[in-house]
Structure 1
Amino acid sequence: MPRAWYTPLAVAAALAEIVLIAVGTHVAFSWLLVWVPAVSGLALAVAAYRSATASAEGSLRTFWRRVMVAMTAVLLAAVSQVADLATTTWSGMPPIGARTLLLYVVGTLLAIAALLRLPGGGRSRSRLTTAVLDVAVVAVTAGIGASAYQGWFIDRFGVSGSAWWLNIAMMAIAVAGIVVVVKIMSAGQSPVPRAALWWLAPVGIAGPLSTVLMTLLLPWPHLNGSAAVLPFVGLLGVLAARSEGPAAVSHQSSRRGTAVPLVATGLTSVLLATVYVRTGDLGTAQVAGTVALLLLVVARQAVALAENARLLGAVAHRAAHDDLTGLYNRRHFTEAVAPGHTVVMIDLRDFRAINDGLGPEAGDALLVAFAGRLTELAGPGAVVARIGGDEFGVLLPGATDFAARLVAATAEPLRAAGHDMIVDVSVGIGDSYRDAEIALREAAGGRVVRYDASLECELRQRATLAADLRRALTDGEFHLLYQPVVALPGGELDGVESLVRWRRPTGEVVSPADFIPVAEDTGLIVELGAWILDTACARAATWPGLRSVAVNVSARQLLDPALPDVVAAALSRHGVPPSRLTIEITETAVFGGGRALATVKALSALGVSIALDDFGTGHSSLGLLRTCPVDAIKVDKSFVDGLGGTPEQEAIVTALTGIAETMGLRTVAEGVETAEQARRLHQLGYRHAQGFHFARPLPAEAIDDLLRQRQPAAA
């Protein structure tokens, strides 16, 4: 990076030159004075390029080194021009020797070579076409300008050998500027910052401008056109060397697409008008160039319009489609719903468990695979959309059997990310988007529900229940009952399971089957669960004779990373040993691992016991016994009901106790309702049970009495 003081010195040199030119038109002084800022500015540019070379790497370092060599040649040319002036007596046009002109040409050619050797690329065909047309527009514009300059130059300087040398030098410098502009527009990528290239572009006008200034400054022999422009060449070089930012990556934009033809035609129009006013005629080259320029501009704008149309089409497509699946998105789907259509809303069951267990890539692959299946089932006349997350929508013309075909298709596994997955769905059907959404909410759990007016009523009831639930938490309307867990065969009280109940101030009892799902949906289960844990631990502290107090924890609670801290705080607050608390979870809650399983492991690390509730009714039960830190399994009532029947009906109960004994797990049989069931369970190896045969859920005071009596809970 060039030193910070290079820039202000280069600016000072350029300003000093302006002041000298302005003063020199009124006061005579030594001709050498105007060359001090000129040579100083060029020397600063060389120093700036050298610093840029030292701090750069790779191809960028090579570029700055080549440009430094080119600018050094220009600096030597300026010094040579000073020597020409010092050793020659002249009147009129200041002399420029062959050596000086050669150095200017060499410096210019070296700069052009440095630019042409810059790497480029990274373009599409349409952008390359646009760039080629831009380059052609610039080239034709430059050609028209060159023809006008050539006529002026010959008229002013004649066709002598020295004049032709001067003309070649000035045209070479102009070509250098054109090459810079062309390189900027044609290079898809370049190691040189775009700002640096744009700072170098105006250098091309330095040569022609210096010859124009030479003629304008003829009345003042101590002034010189070359000296007038060289400080600005140095300043532009310093600014280029200190430029930072991204490499020159060409972006097709409407700004450049408009600027290139407008600037080209504008400059050409001004130039031709000036020539015509001055001479009263236009040359053949100028007329032909103007026609070519107009054709190129028309072609350039046609390509730009086509590209803009393509981009607008891509933007419109992206605005209406889902990036992952390629289906329509929610916005387009809702706008497409019209009377006479059937709206089907679909939700993938247990997608979160799959996403957590197998990873986001597998989850995304499953969504893409399901989108393909959905599109195939819906047919060409349907609008298929991904509404968001794992929710999809299908808009069908009229009533169809689509839902039935979809449910039947879920029996076939989907291949995604190397896995064969069976995905269940919940389906809501309606005549409008809102109706289908309401039906989908009711279908949660893997059902197909069609909207009817009764669902509106249920929805309002659930909303009312959610509001009442929040108020009930604040007003303390909840209480716990405790169902005994007894030891077999005698029925001695061993532990209790905490069960939450809600009694309104009016005396009305709200069933857990009604309020627990609402608490799950609203997230209030987290707050309610914290209250249950605290209340159960407070009671456990007063029941030292019980081996365990169990608390049910929902799937939603397991997704809360703060749950282990809540449990630890409740145990500590009431002085309960962790081993006396049992956390009961369902298999479905931890299927697939992820955050839920991590929470269970954190709870187990606290020292509390983990029990799998309703064992045998969820996902991959036996696999969970290996991956989840389980201490006990609670065999579901549906298996207990089969006791006393055929050997096939008892097979699962028999197998489970054998597996548990082998793995060192405690088993608890749930839903025991008869003495015969209790006796048979004991014969099969079960040592703990709970159910109405022993006791219904009891208030805390009843558990106090049982502990005092220390008598069997059933005769």
Structure 2
Amino acid sequence: MVAWFLPIAVVMAVAETLLIVLGIRAGFPNLLVWVPAVVGPAMAAAAFLHAAKATEGALHTFWRRVGVAMSFVLVASVSQTVDVATIPFDGMPPIGSRTLSLYVIGTILAISALLRLPGGGRSWRQLTTAVLDVAVVAVTAGIAASQYVGWFMDRFGVSTSAWWLNIAMMAIAVAGVVVVVKIMAARESPVPRSALWWLAPIGLAGPLSTVLMTLLKQWPHLNGSAAVLPFVGLFGAMAAHFGLKKPPQQRRKPLAIYRRSTAVPLVATGLTSVLVAIVVLRTGHLSTVQVAGTALLLLLVVARQAMALSENSTLLDSVAHHAMHDELTGLYSRRYFTAAAAAVTEPHTVVLIDLKDFRSINDGLGPEVGDALLIAFGQRLESMAGERAGADAIVARLGGDEFGVLLPGYPEFLIGDGSFEAAGHEVVVDLSIGIADGTDDLFRRAELALREATLNPGQQLVRYDASLERRLTQRATIAADLRRALTAGDFHLLYQPIVELPDGRMTGVESLIRWSRPDGTIVSPADFIPVAEDTGLIVELGAWIIDEVCAQAAAWRRRHGPDALRSIAVNVSARQLLDPGLMDVVASALARHGVPAAQLTVEITETAVFGGGRALATVTALSQLGVSIALDDFGTGHSSLGLLRTCPVDIIKVDKSFVDGLNGTPQQEAIAIALTGIADSMGLRTVAEGVETVEQAQRLFELGYRFVQGFHFARPLPPAGIDAMLEQAHKLAA
């Protein structure tokens, strides 16, 4: 493992440092300093090759290539050890042509591995900036190299071995420059940047070794190359260590990247300025190469910074565009839309649209279909708004499945049907639409209208008027009173009989929640149930209802016998089905009051379980407990017959709107006839709701319906009223 190679590399670097410090004070065999110098690169080569085995693809190839390159450096260090042991020297430590060739080959292989490393795509501005950065680094390195070459000639002369040594050291320095350039130029790299930065200092090994050669010249048992090679091994092992770490997935921050890249010309000019100042102080003049290089560097820095400013300006424009536009649909964002609506000074119209069933579609058919639906809907809005207002229309996606349109004046805005083609699926969605017009507070007023349309399933479109403000105040009052009412016991239950045709014998009841305030006023369920859903109190209220129903069922069983009522139904909302505690609430209430699960019927709506997920899982668990499941208001929601296969349904409750059509035309009766046929074929019971006349009851019986409920038979009654009906039925039976 790389973690095993790294400690050895650290020990070798520390050991070499101690040997150099001790060697200045005392002599020892000149081969001793070469032990860490050989072991260090060996650890780096082993770490690189291990990293190659642990990775694949481009990473595997890169680590294998640098591993081979470091292997040549390792062989070169062994060769140089042999040179020191076999070649007599006085002055510059011996380094043969074989050794220099091995160092140069290793360096060339390392440069090749780095240059062949993928760097990701770039725009032309980014590429130009990268090229200018490379040029800045190259010119800076060239200025430094000119000074280094002069210094090298003064120390080692112009012999053949000195020239070879100079070439080798320059090659190693070039490798370091290539690493730095690669780091700067790569937009995306399979190798973590931390690993590349650990490779970069290796390029300083060559020039640094020659500097150390002169500093350690008076101690022949020490060697500049031996002093730096353990650190070559250490930095290589560190690079492999960080190269195998998986960085956390983070979104790129373009602005931060460009701020960091501006340090390149600043550092380059700073280093060059220091170098020039030192040369002038020491010699009193600059060479032609240094003067020309400094002038070229300044021009490159100016060009590079000008390009960076241009790129940053483009980037800021892009950021501003993204801040004001939705990424998925390309429409304006909520921020832009609300600002535009607030800025109008002449009459405008704000239209807010919500896709009612989007979550069910997204969960049931997948996010790809959901995204395609949002895009298709946005395109339709743009087309229709453009027809009415042209370029003056503003269409926005406000978030999730909510859209907005801002139009000048008071135009009529018809969206059409809710049928869309989305990722190969024909999708039908219901819409809730809120509209406000005028000049003041348009967005808030349109939101109130949309909220009203959302809370009232029978209203697709609501236009703002002053009454909405009053209803909003009323809702706020209800929300404030709900919890107090639940604690104070202001809620009670009524029960509407379900009877069997043709004789009208009561077989079950449906529980209905009612709220009476202390002052005697009655709050309609149509007013407080939506508020309870919004506030989440429906969960607590629903738990109370279930417990109360089970307690009442137990009381009727004691008074009238276990078979007096076949079922007692309780309505459960979509919000309750998403509560993970609902199953325990039902099971606990049944057990606490000793009511068989089969006597309890849970009524749900089609919309609540159409999307599947947790709601459907809860219904399935209730069915497995033994509770009967009824689909309430069947035919008014999604009306998906497939739901009868996926949801464990026992009872279909036919909505009143279909009962109202009886004794009319054949077309009006068609759905009622079809539903009872489907139920019979699937072994389900049907209950017709809203029966108000004797003619409706008679026609339902003729069509095969056996269970009905409605005002014709009985209105919702308190428990005492149900007691009286059960006692009357018992007397008649006797």
TM-score (norm: length of structure 2): 0.86
Q: Which amino acid aligns with 1:700?
A: P
Give the alignment of 1:525-536 within 5 angstroms: 525-536=538-549
Residues 102 and 267 of structure 1, relative CA distance in 2, 3 Å threshold? farther
Instruction: Quote the residue 1:417 is aligned against.
Output: 423
Task: Output the amino acid matched with 1:293.
Answer: L
Distance, in Å, in 1 between the alignment partners of 2:112 and 2:319 is: 35
Per the alignment, do residues 68 and 322 of structure 1 end up closer, same or farther by CA in structure 2, a change over 3 Å counting? same
Match of 2:289 among 285, 290, 293: 285
| Aligned counterparts of 2:466 and 2:329: Cα–Cα separation in 1 | 34
What amino acid does structure 2 have at the position aligned with 1:103?
A: T
* Map of 1:9 onto structure 2: 11
Alignment correspondent of 2:452: 442
Q: Secondary structure at the match of 2:262?
A: helix
8 Å contact 1:486–1:492 — kept in the other structure?
Answer: yes
In structure 1, which of residues 472, 477, 483 is the aligned counterpart of residue 485 of structure 2? 472
Aligned residue identity for 1:322: D
Which residue of 45, 48, 57 maps to 1:49?
Answer: 45
The equivalent position to 1:241 in structure 2, one of 234, 237, 241, is: 237
Q: Give the stretch that moved more between structures: 665-674 or 207-216.
A: 207-216
Residue 147 of structure 1: aligned partner: 146
| Distance in structure 1 (CA, Å) of the matches to 2:68 and 2:289 | 39
Q: Quote the Cα distance in structure 2 between the aligned partners of 1:559 and 1:565.
A: 13
- How far has the Cα of 1:396 moved from its partner? 2.6
Which residue of structure 1 aligns with residue 720 of structure 2? 701
Matched, 1:456 2:469: yes
Give the ranges of 4+ consecutive aligned residues of structure 1 lying more than 6 Å apart after TM superposition: 247-252
Q: Which moved more, 1:411-420 or 1:42-51?
A: 42-51
Distance change (3 Å), C-alpha of 1:382 and 1:647: closer
Mapped to 1, the partners of 2:654 and 2:172 lie a distance apart of 92
| Structure 1 counterpart of 2:268 | 264
CA–CA distance in structure 1, aligned partners of residues 648 and 204 of structure 2: 79
Write the mapping of 1:473-552 to structure 2, written as runs, cut at 5 A: 473-543=486-556, 544=562, 545-552=564-571
Secondary structure of the residue aligned to 1:331 is helix
- Give 1:557's aligned residue: 576
Asked whether the 8 Å contact 1:78–1:100 carries over to 2, the reply is: no
CA distance, structure 1, for counterparts of residue 189 and residue 669 of structure 2: 77
> What letter matches 2:136 in structure 1?
V
Q: Which amino acid aligns with 2:471?
A: E
Q: Which amino acid aligns with 1:540?
A: A
- Judged with a 3 Å threshold, the aligned counterparts in structure 2 of structure 1 residues 76 and 613 are, in CA distance, closer, same or farther, namely same
| CA deviation map 1:503-524 (0-9, x unaligned) | 1122222222222222223222
How far did residue 53 of structure 1 move? 2.5
Letter in structure 2 aligned against 1:519:
A
**2:392 aligned counterpart, secondary structure:** coil
Report the CA distance shift for 1:627/1:53 in structure 2 as closer, same or farther (over 3 A).
closer
Is residue 2:91 matched to residue 1:80? no
Aligned to 1:136, the other structure's residue is in SS state: helix
Aligned to 1:679: 698
In the TM superposition, what whole-angstrom CA distance separates every residue of 1:244-282 from its partner, at most 9, and x where no partner exists?
A: 224899998235422322222222222223333333332
Deviation digits for residues 213-270 of structure 1 (CA, Å, limit 9, x no counterpart): 555566xx3358x714532332232232133224899998235422322222222222
Deviation of 1:477 after TM superposition, in Å, equals 0.9
Q: Which residue of 2 aligns with 1:308?
A: 312
- Distance in 1 of aligned mates of 2:208 and 2:605: 86
| Corresponding position of 2:559 | none
Shift of 1:483: 1.5
8 Å Cα contact 1:13/1:38 also seen in 2:
no
State the distance in 2 between where 1:5 and 1:195 align. Answer: 19
1:369 aligned partner: 376
2:180 is equivalent to residue 171 of structure 1: no
Query: Does 2:127 align with 1:120?
Result: no
Tell me, yes or no, if the aligned pair for 2:71 and 2:106 is still in contact at 8 Å.
no
- Hey, what does 1:66 align to over in structure 2? 69
1:405 alignment partner in structure 2: 414
Question: What secondary structure does 2:127 align onto?
Answer: helix
Indicate the residue corresponding to 1:688 in structure 2. Answer: 707
Q: How does 1:91-102 map to 2 (within 5 A)?
A: 94-97=91-94, 100-102=96-98
2:407 is aligned with 1:396 = yes
Greater shift, 646-655 or 456-465, is seen at 646-655
Q: 1:357 to 1:19 in 2, by over 3 A?
A: closer
SS at match of 1:386: strand
Answer yes or no: is the 8 Å Cα contact 1:695–1:713 preserved in 2: no
Partner of 2:618 in structure 1? 599
Q: Structure 1 560/54 Cα, relative in aligned 2: closer, same or farther at 3 Å? A: closer
Q: CA 1:506/1:47 → structure 2, altered by over 3 Å: closer, same or farther?
A: closer
Aligned residues: 693
Q: Which of 654, 664, 669 is residue 635 of structure 1 equivalent to?
A: 654
Task: Work out whether 1:339 is the aligned partner of 2:339.
Answer: no
Tell me, which stretches of 5 or more residues in structure 1 are unaligned? none
Contact 1:427 1:447 in 2 (8 A): yes
1:423-451 deviation digits (Å, cap 9, x = unpaired) = 33222223422122112112223432232
Residue type at the aligned position of 2:480:
A
Query: How far apart are residue 67 of structure 1 and its match?
Result: 0.6
| Corresponding letter in the other structure for 2:363 | D
- Looking at structure 2, the residues matched to 114 and 701 of structure 1 have their Cα atoms a distance apart, in angstroms, of 93
Which one is further off, 614-623 or 447-456?
Answer: 614-623
The higher radius of gyration belongs to 1
Q: Percent identity?
A: 61
Instruction: Work out whether 1:222 is the aligned partner of 2:222.
Output: no
The alpha-carbon deviation at position 463 of structure 1 amounts to 0.7
Quote the Cα distance in structure 2 between the aligned partners of 1:548 and 1:678. 21
Alpha-carbon shift at residue 416 of structure 1 (Å): 0.6
Cα pair 2:122 2:187 within 8 Å, conserved? no
Tell me the alpha carbon deviations over residues 319-345 of structure 1, each in whole angstroms, 9 at most, x when there is no partner: 333232222222332233313343322
CA contact (8 A) 1:73 1:106 kept: yes
Equivalent pair of 1:660/1:666 in contact (CA under 8 Å): yes
Shift of 1:648: 4.7
Structure 1 residue aligned with 2:434:
428
Q: Which moved more, 1:133-142 or 1:198-207?
A: 198-207
The root-mean-square deviation of aligned C-alpha atoms, in Å, is 3.1
3-state SS in 1 of match to 2:96: helix
Q: Per-residue deviation at 1:389?
A: 1.7
Query: Which of 605, 611, 614 pairs up with 2:630?
Result: 611
Partner of 1:111: 107
- AA aligned to 2:328 is L
Paired amino acid for 1:476: G
- Relative to structure 1, the CA distance from residue 148 to residue 663 in structure 2 (aligned partners, 3 Å threshold; closer, same or farther) is closer
**How far, CA to CA, are the matches of 1:553 and 1:588 in structure 2?**
12
Q: Distance in 2 between matches of 1:653 and 1:193?
A: 67
More divergent stretch after superposition (550-559 vs 242-251):
242-251
Q: 1:186 to 1:73 in 2, by over 3 A?
A: farther
Distance 1:696 1:352 in 2: 36
Distance 1:472 1:103, change over 3 A: same
Partner of 2:679: 660
Letter in 2 for 1:310: T
Residues 1:8 and 1:151: Cα distance change in structure 2 (over 3 Å): closer
Q: CA deviation at 1:460?
A: 0.6
Normalised by the length of structure 1, the TM-score is 0.88
Give the C-alpha shift of residue 464 in structure 1: 0.2
Amino acid at match of 2:238: R
8 Å CA contact retained: 2:201, 2:235: no
Tell whether the 8 Å contact from 1:610 to 1:632 is kept in structure 2 after alignment. yes
Question: 1:616·1:636 contact (CA, 8 Å) conserved in 2?
Answer: yes
CA offset at residue 192 of structure 1? Answer: 5.4
Give secondary structure in 2 for the equivalent of 1:405: coil
Q: After alignment, is 416-425 or 556-565 more displaced? A: 556-565
Bigger Cα displacement from structure 2, 41-50 vs 511-520:
41-50
SS for the counterpart of 2:502 is coil
The 1:497/1:305 distance shift into structure 2, 3 A limit, reads same
Q: 1:461, CA displacement in angstroms?
A: 0.7
Q: Using the TM superposition, give the Cα deviation of residue 658 of structure 1 relative to its aligned residue in structure 2, in angstroms.
A: 3.5
Distance apart, 1:183 and its partner CA: 4.2
Shift of 1:116: 1.4
